[in-house]
Structure 1
Amino acid sequence: MTYLQKIQRLYHLEPNDHSGFADAELAALEQQLGTALPVPLKNYYTALGKQEQVNHSYNRLLPPGKEMDFSADGYLVFYEENQAVCCWGIQKEDLAQDNPPVWGNYGTETAPDWHQEAGTTEDFFLLMAVYNGTMGGLPYNANCLGTVDPAMVRFIEARYTLVPAISWERQRVYTDDFYEVLSLSFAEAGHCNALFAGTSDAQRFGRLLDAIDVEWSYIADEE
């Protein structure tokens, strides 16, 4: 599956139901910026750019227009954290690459602190779809904001498949073929201190809640 197909499956979106921006809007953005955009970036905007649950349920995809611009230190910023604490972008010199890496600025505009967030643009969009989904974008989501027993972590590792491209030592994403996803956070000491889960399928969600034995802090369908 492509990354777009994985997102469409996770959110139960029809493959031919394009909820994106028009090609002309992306062409106007390229003219505004004075540079061509990477194909994966344009493809995402035209396929899913206006999909609210995927792109605006927590962190926010910036629309093509005045909000989308280069930072003072040369990053094309196109995604923003929900409280504007950090933002994500592509280095100007990388825009000519086929599928450039995406960086996150965890500093400020005047004192930037950029770290690579994803090895490719496509991986970044998949990561944000998972992140936004488990934080409320998916209709069935839950989180445990507390210590997860090591035995339960081992259970998840055995039952679900790790997604290496969007995982790292402190944040690991697992999936059941992108019908449901789990994101585990780890402290520096190595123990799991948070778990986020999400799916678009009510029956799968029920089975997930039965199987994952943790003290859930929030369960969406309980509201």
Structure 2
Amino acid sequence: MMSEKRYQISPIELVQWAEPLFGFGVGKATGFSEKTIASYEAAAGIRLPAALRDYYRACGKASLNCALHEIFVPDKKANPFKKRLTFSYDHIDEDLEIFSQPGEEDYPELAKIRALPRERWGEVTDNYLLFWCENQGCWYAGIEAEDLTQPDPPVYYNDQDDMYSWAPFSNSVQSFLLDIMLQNLEEGNYPDEFEDPVEIQKVLSEGSVDFQRLCEAYPFPGGRFCHTCLDTETNTLYVYGEEAEGRPAYLKVFKPDEEE
């Protein structure tokens, strides 16, 4: 009897499978209650995009969310900072206060902001909802405020280590979550990795993985950067990356250590 294979698993499915096996907590992945999320949304005056909202509800509290790059979570009163959902304009507000102190001089972008009423700050930079950060704080990932009404909007990051310059990170929240959680999963868990095409096909064949199905794209924007197959019987995850500029095709195989 062949084991069950699930191809192109979602970020939620990935975390729900991986948390009990690779997480730092105990048991399955858990999320935030509808009450907590709704309270945050009411206090912030927004509604989270469906893709991000669903992720928070399903597995927002999973330990793997902080294994490397760290998630920001909803606060019932929408208080900013301290690993909570925070808008980039909140950081700018803080800078305005800090640089108002004696001896502190505005840097150019902040000087432009200070000369404008808040409703015109968009002339200098857009406002982003920050929901994840690099493990050393080198960058934040955010969704442009105007895109929050989209179900699965693109994700940006501050590419100059400030709150004024932003560049595309991912074409959708789901592709971002998949990318980040695969990175987090690899932190401290070392998958078997293959780059030789013959060896890749051999490993897939031994695992009865259908290569054609494995190469299918994810159904969301940006879903061609990698492909997955989860063998639920052997608890083996196959992650295939197509050849890209400066990088050969690869296969990573995640499997929990066997108990002695």
TM over 0.5: yes
Post-superposition CA distance 1:161-206 (Å, at most 9, x none): 24633655xx5444345731336596734446x8754233639xxx
For 2:43, what is the secondary structure of its paired residue?
helix
Please identify which structure carries the higher strand content: 1
Looking at structure 2, the residues matched to 81 and 183 of structure 1 have their Cα atoms a distance apart, in angstroms, of 24
Give the aligned partner of residue 175 of structure 1: 229
SS of the residue corresponding to residue 79 of structure 1 reads strand
Q: Does 1:133 align with 2:150?
A: no
In structure 2, distance between residues paired with 1:18 and 1:154: 32
**What residue identity is the alignment partner of 2:66?**
H
RMSD of Structure 2 on Structure 1 (CA) = 3.6
Confirm whether residue 7 of structure 1 aligns to residue 56 of structure 2. Answer: no
Unaligned runs of 5+ in 1: 204-223
**CA deviation after TM superposition for structure 1 residue 93, in Å:** 1.3
Aligned residues: 192
Q: Give the Å deviation of 1:83.
A: 1.4
Give 3-state SS (helix, strand or coil) of 1:8's partner. helix
Query: Whose Rg is larger?
Result: 2
Go from structure 1 to structure 2 and tell me whether the alpha carbon gap of 1:18 and 1:175 turns closer, same or farther (over 3 Å shift). closer
Structure 2 CA distance for partners of 1:93 and 1:177, relative to 1, 3 Å: farther
Q: Secondary structure at the match of 1:96?
A: coil
Structure 2 portions without partners, runs of 5+? 1-5, 22-26, 90-125
Q: Distance in 2 between matches of 1:174 and 1:8?
A: 15
Measure the CA separation in 1 of the matches of 2:139 and 2:216.
24
Identity %: 25
Q: How does 1:140-155 map to 2 (within 5 A)?
A: 140-142=189-191, 148-149=195-196, 151-152=198-199
Q: Which residue of 2 aligns with 1:88?
A: 141
- Which residue is equivalent to 2:86? 69
Indicate how the Cα distance of structure 1 residues 76 and 155 shifts in structure 2: closer, same or farther if over 3 A, else same.
farther
1:102 is aligned to 2:155? yes
Cα deviation, residue 81, structure 1: 1.2
Contact 2:157 2:168 in 1 (8 A): yes
Equivalent residues of 2:158, 2:164 under 8 A apart: no
Amino acid at match of 1:8: Q
Partner Cα separation in structure 2 for residue 149 and residue 69 of structure 1? 44
* SS of match in other structure, 2:184: helix
Q: Take 1:155 and 1:114, find their aligned partners in 2: how far apart are those partners?
A: 39
- Give yes or no for the alignment of 1:202 onto 2:254: no
Q: Distance in 2 between matches of 1:8 and 1:130?
A: 13
Q: Cα 1:110–1:8, aligned 2, differ >3 Å: closer, same or farther?
A: closer
* Structure-1-length-normalised TM-score: 0.66
Compute the TM-score of the two structures, normalised by the length of structure 2.
0.58
Q: Which residue number in structure 1 is paired with residue 176 of structure 2?
A: 124
Does 1 or 2 have the higher relative contact order (CA < 8 Å, sep 6+)? 2
**Contact 1:20-1:51 within 8 A present in 2 as well:** yes
Instruction: Give the deviation of 1:89 after TM superposition.
Output: 1.7
Does structure 2 conserve the Cα–Cα contact (< 8 Å) formed by 1:162 and 1:175?
no
Shift in Å at residue 60 of structure 1?
Answer: 0.7
